[in-house]
Chains A and B, each alone.
Chain A
Amino acid sequence: MEYAVKRVGYAIFVLFLASLVTYLALRATPGNVASSVLNPATTPPEVIAELRAELGLDDSMWQQYTDYASGLLTGDLGFSLVNRTPVSTLIGDSATYTVVLAAAAFALAFGLGVPIGVLAALNQDGWFDRLVRLVASCMQAIPNFVLALLAVLVFGVRLGWLPVSGAATASSLILPALVLAAEPGALTTRVTRTAVLEQIAADYTRTLRARGVPRRRINWIHILRNSLSPIISLGAIQIRTLLGYTLIVEVIFRWPGLGTQLVQAVLNRDYPVAQTLALLLAAVVIVSSTLSDLMYRWADPRVRLGGSEPS
């Protein structure tokens, strides 16, 4: 319990530092926000001065940061510089899309990766195992935007089976989710395969077999349960990778999620939006890694009682 409180406190501290980083990286840019939105050559100086005052650019750095931070805490996230929509509305609209896409990819990666990994391990060095290993290493080598383009080319342009742009129909989800799931799925398969192979060689497996427990029960209940802990700790790392990939895959499929929003905001120098989105994504990563640390401790008594930190 004491550990949990410490861990959460640390997570809040890291989150605070992350907010400083996003703030500094995006706000302390050479060339100020006001002049990148309004062209100084054509706009009267009064208008620029007005915008500067409204954005609080004349205040000190620290004053600006505390304004920004208190805005974050009270839910006042400011306005987009481009179209004047409140940032909270923009995020609310796009977050749902990103959550749907990432959840679908996550479910695919684990839903397919774990059973395929188990089957490959049970069939070690057989044709299925070799095929799985080949496909998995290809999936890990193809950059996901290349895979996305190939998917667009084959299923969208050539065959015309699936929509490749936007999120108008439910079937629009299929291609982006599959592309996003490819690499995490391949990694999950490999980790599962290795973990299961280790368990197959364990003494308890031999004992279970000697006692006449059915093969299927040993494989899918005893071995799978004991192989879960590396798969769980992989999950937290996967969330971070998946979020990073979502940014690119969303842009390619014109999926109206946070990634498309963020890339747009950065290209348009729309700081209030970019800053909040970057911090939001960092917060998701921090929360998920904290949760996985806590879960890991709860799930594995050896870590909990051993007194040493899981590395």
Chain B
Amino acid sequence: MTAVELPQFTLVDRKRSRERARRVGRVRVLVLVGYGIIGVFGLVAQLVPSLEHRMTDQSMRDTFLPPLSPGHLLGTDVLGRDSLWRLIGGLGVSLSVGLTAAALSVVLGLVVGILGGFFGRAAEVTTSVLVDVMWAFPAILLAIVFAGWLGPGLPAVVLALALTGWASFARIVRGEVLSLREREFIAAAQVLGVPKVVISFRHLLPNLLPVKMLMSVFFVATAIVAEAGLSFLGLGAQPPTPSLGVTLAEGRDYLNVTWWPVVIAGGVLTVLVLLLNGLSDDLRDRFDPKLRERS
């Protein structure tokens, strides 16, 4: 191809471009902070077995110590366990549950969405009926049903969250695939006789990357909240596993005695969700210029 001289715009709106640069810079910092936090707690989650005694050591003499007590930066809980270690362990549990559930939902949603959008009428009808049935149940309700099935515990929570999460994602993926399959490169591949499975892997999957990243972050946030909620109800993490939900439930019973376990655990959970929401907003801004213009 011969090089075509593109018209150069010399009149640059200085203020606008500076503002844009600043915004992109801020986005990068937030993304880094977000990944840093997730990485640290992911590591702690890996280390949980060797640190477990710190989270479960009890002492009936030192119950309900206030924050900043000697040896216990955030004080202790009803069994005299160190609140800071419980918090760190709980965050590790939250993030590993969130990441696992998100990964499972994304994979399931991709499979069902691509099947529904690209593999003919029968697949389309079957998958959309499946999605509608799943959608009939509020997420928490299905989670409760699964907790009843597998018995309360984290595996039930992960399974329930994965099985409720995929339905909404499958619907989004299907929409994207429907528009992708009209594009020339997909049509060209089909005309060349490339099998549909190969097209799915080689051409559809890479083009679904922005949606995948966005929804993963969103799923991690919702799964973390749902895990805490189910553990709060007694259907999730079982003692002595540390979990923000369990800390909140214990705090609820002793609200007359002391208020800070509820405030600290609730605050940490909220900040975590805010961070993840910020992360997904930034990802959306980067990947979807159309949305950026509108907001």
CB-defined interface of B97-141 with A at 8 Å, one 1/0 digit per residue?
Answer: 000000000000000000000000000000001001101111111
Expressed in whole angstroms, the Cα–Cα distance for A22 and B148 within the complex equals: 11
B9 at the interface (CB under 8 A from A): no
Residue from the list A138, A158, A266 in contact with B144, Cβ < 8 A: A266
Could you list some 12 contacts between A and B, CB below 8 A? A14-B129, A14-B132, A17-B133, A22-B145, A26-B145, A137-B274, A146-B270, A149-B255, A153-B262, A248-B140, A266-B147, A282-B136
Instruction: Select the residue from B144, B175, B225, B263 with max chain A CB neighbours within 10 A.
Output: B144
Expressed in whole angstroms, the Cα–Cα distance for A251 and B152 within the complex equals: 17
In the complex, the answer to whether A285 meets B137 with C-beta atoms within 8 Å is yes
Excluding A143-B273, A146-B266, 15 further A-B contacts by CB distance (< 8 Å) are A14-B133, A17-B133, A138-B274, A140-B277, A142-B270, A142-B273, A149-B251, A150-B262, A241-B138, A247-B138, A248-B140, A266-B144, A266-B145, A278-B137, A281-B137
Interface size on A, residues (CB 8 A): 47
In the complex, the answer to whether A248 meets B137 with C-beta atoms within 8 Å is no
Contacts of B233 in A (CB 8 A): 248, 251, 263
List A residues 13-70 near B (Cβ within 8 Å). Answer: 13-15, 17-18, 21-22, 25-26, 29
B146 at the interface (CB under 8 A from A): yes
Expressed in whole angstroms, the Cα–Cα distance for A186 and B21 within the complex equals: 31
Contacts of A311 in B (CB 8 A): 175
A145 at the interface (CB under 8 A from B): yes
- From A10, which residue of chain B is reached at the shortest CB distance? B132
Closest 4 CB pairs of A and B: A244-B138, A146-B266, A266-B148, A244-B140
In the complex, the answer to whether B137 meets A152 with C-beta atoms within 8 Å is no
Residue from the list B141, B235, B269, B274 in contact with A281, Cβ < 8 A: B141
Chain B binding surface SS class = helix
Expressed in whole angstroms, the Cα–Cα distance for A244 and B235 within the complex equals: 15
Tell me, rounded to whole Å, the shortest Cβ–Cβ distance linking A165 to chain B.
11
Contacts of B137 in A (CB 8 A): 18, 21, 278, 281-282, 285
Tell me, rounded to whole Å, the shortest Cβ–Cβ distance linking B196 to chain A.
23
A101 at the interface (CB under 8 A from B): no
In the complex, the answer to whether B138 meets A285 with C-beta atoms within 8 Å is yes
